[in-house]
Amino acid sequence: MASLGAVYLKALYDQTFLQDTDMDISHRSSDDIRAVISQFINQRLQEKLSKLKADDVEKRDKLLADYEYSTWLESAALRVSQIQQITHAAKYTHPYSLGTSLYNTGNQSAGDEYLGTHSIGPIRPDVVGNAAALDVFKFLKLPIGQTTIFELAAADSVELKAALTPDSKKADDWSKAFASLPDEKKSTSSHALAKQLFWPLETDDSESDYHLISPLFSSALAQEVWTHIREHRFSEEAKAARDARFNKAWFDHDSFEYPNMVVQKFGGSNQQNVSQLNSNRYGENYLLASLPPHWNADLIRPPLKVDSIFPNVFGRRAAVLDAVKDLILFLEAHYHPDRPVLDPNNMEIRELAREKVRAVIDEFFHFSASVWDLEPGWSAEEDCNLPEEERCWLDQGRVLIDEEFAKTYHWGKWKEQVAVRFANWLNARLASGKKKLPLGKAEFNEWKKLVEKEINLFGGVED
């Protein structure tokens, strides 16, 4: 019985290649295929012979025998079981992990919103297993026109079988062996050195049950990222673009930068032990920076000599003005005098309005984060006229150094009061537009609910 991998690849081959007459398999004669295979085997032989001493006749004769066309192919058909074509390798977790590696093109239903193996097309497969059998993988990837030896084997190509050997039984066996490259070489299993998540399941009986989830590293995705970044960093075009930028000269192509990037290494000095692509990448995996913003506190001054941050310090920021203006224009464009500003019967408009209010809330948190970077205790200064709730929100570090302030912080209702101040300020700003929108209690409650939810999710300095 043909393996599932071979059946899948045969269907894929039929769909991709046989529908196009320019790439029909009938155009690849057995003589053409045999010529490509012979050239590959002879090239391998010459590389081996070149390393022998001139008087080493015994080894020379053995190599000549081993690299006879039929002998080498029979050996390759046996050794293909020692390697596996994969996309996700177990040894990226630990070089001695004996867990299962898999060939999987990813969750195709995930869509463009998520980055994963499914985002790559076409996938460049990896290979794991006995390093001594990697020449078989190179053989199977030999190009035959628009296809490869492996794809021909998976498609059960008559021309390939004829090129392998005149013996039909051997040809069929060898072709099936070559098509088994993606098949799992052992039953699916995890390992003590693999990452493992035990996911509990509900059961009717008293005994507990669980799924064992073993996340695997996508070498195929890492290869795609590594290739692009290497091109952006080290290609001649990238160097020319950086030189042009340095010299403030025009250049036709973009210049890419990857700040704070970390290079992760796999495999140590034996990178091929992890996988073939890992060896090709010199054991490198690029980790892009995923860091929270670092505020330059030297450029932020404490909000002193103001009665509230909302109409003064926060409300005057350019990004806040833009976000509020965008919200005003949206509400004015959809306002009708016979209906409330937030029409309860129009859920689409209400949700769009909420999204724009969330943009203002985001700016509120950006501003607050910049103030949190200041030295704690600034709100105790004589020039600080902020109300108690705004001090608790903006100077939370003071809790750790001021016992009386900590009591106010822990016992007060300052979170709700900050939300009230935000909602009152936003209502006032929105009512100042050209149409003088009649904003009232309903809109106030909506804004208050949105910002209060975010404040409560944030927690606090000791939560």
What's the rounded mean pLDDT across residues 69-94?
93
Q: Is residue 116 in a domain?
A: no
Q: Is residue 120 in a domain?
A: no
Q: Is residue 98 in a domain?
A: no
Task: Single out the residue in 258, 287, 316 at which a domain terminates.
Answer: 287
For position 188, what pLDDT does the model report? 84
For position 96, what pLDDT does the model report? 87
Task: Single out the residue in 287, 313, 343 at which a domain terminates.
Answer: 287
Q: Is residue 429 in a domain?
A: yes
Which residue matches tokens 């060898």? Answer: 174
Residues 12 and 142 in one domain: yes
Angle, CA of 18, 21 and 23, to the nearest 5°: 65
**Which letter does DSSP use for residue 22 in this model?**
G
Distance of CA 36 to the CA centre of its chain: 38
pLDDT tens digit sequence for 191-237? 889 999 989 888 777 677 888 898 999 999 999 999 999 999 999 99
Share of residues in the chain with pLDDT > 70 (%)? 92
Residues 366 and 267 in one domain: no
Q: Find, among 293, 268, 263, 290, the residue nearest to 279 by Cα.
A: 268
User: Per-residue confidence at 27, pLDDT binned at 50, 70, 90?
Assistant: low
User: In Å, what is the CA distance from 168 to each residue of 38, 158, 174, 193?
Assistant: 19, 10, 10, 45
Q: Find, among 142, 107, 109, the residue nearest to 37 by Cα.
A: 142
User: Per-residue confidence at 460, pLDDT binned at 50, 70, 90?
Assistant: low
Q: Is residue 189 in a domain?
A: no
Domain carrying residue 395? 297-458
Q: Is residue 56 in a domain?
A: yes
Indicate if the pLDDT at residue 430 is higher than 60: yes
For position 451, what pLDDT does the model report? 93
For position 110, what pLDDT does the model report? 87
Residues 161 and 20 in one domain: yes
User: Per-residue confidence at 302, pLDDT binned at 50, 70, 90?
Assistant: very high
In angstroms, the CA 120 to CA 221 distance is: 7
Indicate if the pLDDT at residue 422 is higher than 60: yes
For position 25, what pLDDT does the model report? 43
pLDDT tens digit sequence for 260-281? 899 999 988 888 889 999 999 9
Among 47-51, 86-90, 332-336, the minimum mean pLDDT is found in: 332-336
In angstroms, the CA 164 to CA 166 distance is: 7
Exposed/middle/buried for residue 387 (C-beta within 10 Å: 0-12, 13-18, 19+): middle
Residues 146 and 73 in one domain: yes
Residues 422 and 396 in one domain: yes
Q: What is the pTM of this model?
A: 0.56
Residues 282 and 324 in one domain: no
Average pLDDT of the chain? Answer: 86
Counting the structural domains of the chain, the total is 3
Indicate if the pLDDT at residue 458 is higher than 90: no
Side chain identity at residue 412, one-letter code: G
Q: Find, among 152, 148, 142, 195, the residue nearest to 176 by Cα.
A: 152
Residues 154 and 79 in one domain: yes
Task: Single out the residue in 268, 287, 306 at which a domain terminates.
Answer: 287
User: Per-residue confidence at 20, pLDDT binned at 50, 70, 90?
Assistant: very low
Q: Is residue 264 in a domain?
A: yes
Give the 3-state secondary structure of residue 110: helix
What's the rounded mean pLDDT across residues 355-384?
93
In angstroms, the CA 135 to CA 70 distance is: 16
User: Per-residue confidence at 26, pLDDT binned at 50, 70, 90?
Assistant: very low
User: Per-residue confidence at 295, pLDDT binned at 50, 70, 90?
Assistant: low
In angstroms, the CA 393 to CA 368 distance is: 8
In angstroms, the CA 228 to CA 116 distance is: 15
Residues 173 and 313 in one domain: no
pLDDT tens digit sequence for 314-326? 999 999 999 999 9
Indicate if the pLDDT at residue 28 is higher than 80: no
Give the 3-state secondary structure of residue 143: strand
For position 433, what pLDDT does the model report? 79
Token duo for residue 188: 């699916």
For position 415, what pLDDT does the model report? 92
Residue 271's contacts (CB-CB under 8 Å, 6 or more residues apart) are 278, 279, 281, 282, 283
Q: Is residue 117 in a domain?
A: no
What's the rounded mean pLDDT across residues 124-145?
90
Residues 242 and 302 in one domain: no
Residues 258 and 345 in one domain: no
Residues 172 and 222 in one domain: no
Indicate if the pLDDT at residue 439 is higher than 50: yes
For position 392, what pLDDT does the model report? 94
For position 14, what pLDDT does the model report? 41
Residues 132 and 79 in one domain: yes
- Contact between residue 386 and residue 305 where contact means Cβ atoms under 8 Å apart: no
